[in-house]
Amino acid sequence: MSERAAPVPALRAVETRLIRIPLARPWGADVTDLRVIAVTVHDADGGVGHAFTWTPTIGGTAVKALLDDDLVPAAIGRPADPGVWHDLWRHVHEAGGGGVTTIALAGLDLALWDLRARRAGACVTDLLGRRHDRLPAYGSGVNLHYPIDELVAQARRWVAAGFQAVKIKVGSPDLGRDLERVAAVRAVLGPDRRLMVDANQRWDLETAARSIPALAEYGIDWIEEPLRADDLAGYRALRARIDVPVAAGENLHTVHRFRDFLDAGALDVVQPNIVRVGGITPFLEIADLARERGVELAPHLLPELSAQVAYALPETSWVEDVEDAGFATLGALVEPSGVTIADGWASGGPALGLGLRFA
């Protein structure tokens, strides 16, 4: 006779704390820091889980308020387990299906995954079921505002660090400037390393359709967010007009929205951000959808978190490493997460839970 699993203790208390982490180099005039909301959950048996949610500069106080005013009161007394995600999403859905609501919900979801793993005496990767001990990483930078000599120097650092793929920003008002910069980076990389470009939603359809074939002459592996993330019709039309793979997803917030884009044949690479979609629970649903549809999955940002989850996926996913933006690099963590990126590979992780506690 099999033993019945012990009931999950109830969620007893949740603490949130807003932290402003200055970036070593601003991502732009309006993005000078990261806003992290550290989240600590306590269950009725004395268990504690630690995690966070996050946004670059914009919206941090709104995320914390939604947690404190709406999500935490609805979560207290429920099982202290990630299985409550869908009920809580339905609870806050009136405030929006995604965006601030899912970013706030990620703080609880990640903390509950950390707690579940700690109860099991495991790290989250092993709790999910490890498939990889390491994954390829690519060098990335928020660098459209860099002078070309600084961009070239950054590309040289990536090559010296062993990256076999890099991503740079495009979307200058002058296409000639983008072409000059992409050509300069390709010259540093040589013919064999992958080069991806990211327009960060800067183009309209006609500008994108004109710019991408010109950039493709330098051998680009994907064009990321060429249009506004909301513009499904535009993505569908663009995909029919170009040969370069299209990547997007950092600003899509639910599995339903990812399904819309895939049903429309608009994407070749999906890039869910684990925090923006609401945590590990919905991220895994999106990963299942991408696998079902046969498209590439490349988690967006947050390598100290993304790598831990991607180690448990059947496919090999790229891990994005933005220069000088890791939480450990910025001195934001109580102790290192254990995730390291060296010689173009992400490896390692914590012994227990997520290992992401903020100072």
Domain boundaries defined on the chain = 11-120, 126-347
CATH T-level fold of 11-120: Enolase-like; domain 1 (3.30.390)
Each residue's pLDDT tens digit, 46-67: 999 999 999 999 999 999 999 9
| Distant-in-sequence, close-in-space partners of 295: CB < 8 Å, separation ≥ 6 | 262, 267, 268, 269, 270
Rounded mean pLDDT for each run of 10 residues along the chain, 359 residues in total: 73 98 92 97 98 96 98 98 98 96 98 98 98 98 97 98 98 98 98 98 98 98 97 98 98 98 98 98 98 97 97 97 95 96 98 97
Which residues are designated catalytic? 169, 300
Each residue's pLDDT tens digit, 317-331: 999 999 999 999 999
Residue 63 · residue 38 · CB < 8 Å: no
Q: How far is residue 192 from each of residues 195, 220, 235, measured CA to CA in Å?
A: 9, 11, 29
Which homologous superfamily is 126-347 in? Enolase-like C-terminal domain (3.20.20.120)
pTM for the whole thing? 0.96
| Three-state DSSP state, 101 | helix
| Distant-in-sequence, close-in-space partners of 122: CB < 8 Å, separation ≥ 6 | 352
- The conformation of residue 71, written as its DSSP 8-state character, comes to I
